[in-house]
Amino acid sequence: MAEAMKQTVSSMLKGIERYNPDNLPTLEKYVEIQSRENAYDLEANLAVLKLYQFNPQSFNVNITCQILLKALTNFPHTDFILCKCLLNEKQLALESITQIMYLGDILEQCDFQLFWTIVSTKPELIQKITGFFDSIRKFVCHVVGITYQRIERSHLSELLGDVDDITLKHWVRKYGWHEDGNLVFIANQDENIKTKNINEKIDFESVGAIMASCR
């Protein structure tokens, strides 16, 4: 359904049509569908926030929360910042939005253990978003993937939200990592991350002219 709507919606985002408040109900419905079906369309969601910016009386806190939570699921992309910039201070002060802002802040700082603790106390906040936890785990794996060569198994499981052994194995396999005793081997990083030396290269052509003039 989300796929089918993508077409309809994309025509609503062209040119000046993007600012037509009559499109708002459709676009809001599309947000709900994204939450339900674990789909994502940043551009459409930004258009909703834009319409709220232009028509403050239509502001819907429930939809806004879903948009923000969906933006969290798209970490490490900076969609969350883009959404935040379209809101205003008053809206950010609303309780449910403050809570999501806090979650975003913790995720940005990569304090994953704290994130899982907080989220477990607020199941109602995220229940509408299908696949929310796994999306966050994807982000965790992204950060682990760029940081570690080998990581302690227990630490990895903590970062993923204290997952059980089977789940851990699932994520390890999904990313092509290997278990190695109490460590997990992520990747050989020294191929990608190595000291760069920038040396000046002067070729003959570039000194030719000056040499010629010095005779």
Partner 1 sequence: MYGNDDYDPNYEAGYDYNYDSEYTSRAGDATGDGEYGRQFYKMPDIVKKFLQYFHNAVNEGLIFELQNLYETSWPKLTEEYFEKRPWPEESEVATLVNNDPVFMILYKELYFRHIYARIQGGPSLEQRFNSFYNYCDLFNYILSAEKPVLLELPDLWLWELVDEFVYQFQSFAQYRARLQKKSPTELDTLNNNNKVWNVLCVLNVLHSLVDKSNIKQQLEVYANGGDPDSVAGDFGRHSLYKMLGYFSLVGLLRLHSLLGDYYQAIKVLENIEVHKKSQFAHVPACQISTSYYVGFAYMMMRRYADAIRTFSSILLYIQRTKQLFASKSYQHDQINKQTDQMYNLLAICLVLHPQCIDESIQQTLREKNCHEKMYKMQYGDLQEFESSFVYACPKFLSPFPPPVDSLPEDYSKEAIKHQTSVFMAEVQQQKMLPTIRSYLKLYTTLPLSKLALFMSQNQETSEDLLKEMRNLTIHLLCFKHKMKNIVWSKGPSGLEGKFQSGSELDFYIDNDMIHIADTKVAHRYGDFFIRKILKFEELNRKLHHLKI
Say which DSSP state 179 is in. Answer: E
Binds partner 1 (CB under 8 A): choice among 71, 86, 141, 160? 86
Q: How far is the CB of 181 from partner 1 (least distance, A)?
A: 11
Q: Binding segment for partner 1 among 3-11, 15-23, 30-38, 63-71 (CB under 8 A)? A: 15-23
Query: Cα 21 from chain centroid?
Result: 28
Binds partner 1 (CB under 8 A): choice among 176, 194, 204, 205? 194
Binds partner 1 (CB under 8 A): choice among 56, 61, 93, 208? 56
Query: For residue 176, which amino acid is it?
Result: G
Pick left, alpha or beta for residue 62 (phi over 0 → left; psi -120 to 50 → alpha; otherwise beta). alpha
Query: Cα 16 from chain centroid?
Result: 28
Binds partner 1 (CB under 8 A): choice among 29, 61, 62, 77? 77
The answer to whether residue 8 forms part of the interface with partner 1 (CB under 8 A) is no
Contact 153, 171 (CB under 8 A): no
The answer to whether residue 119 forms part of the interface with partner 1 (CB under 8 A) is no
Please tell me the distance from the alpha carbon of residue 90 to that of residue 88, in angstroms, as a whole number. Answer: 6
The answer to whether residue 208 forms part of the interface with partner 1 (CB under 8 A) is no
- Parallel, antiparallel, or unpaired for β 178-180 and 183-185? antiparallel
The answer to whether residue 149 forms part of the interface with partner 1 (CB under 8 A) is yes
* Residue placing its CB nearer to partner 1 in the complex, 50 or 122: 50
Please tell me the distance from the alpha carbon of residue 150 to that of residue 186, in angstroms, as a whole number. Answer: 6
Q: Binding mask 150-189 vs partner 1 (x if CB under 8 A, - otherwise)?
A: xxx--x---------------------------x-----x
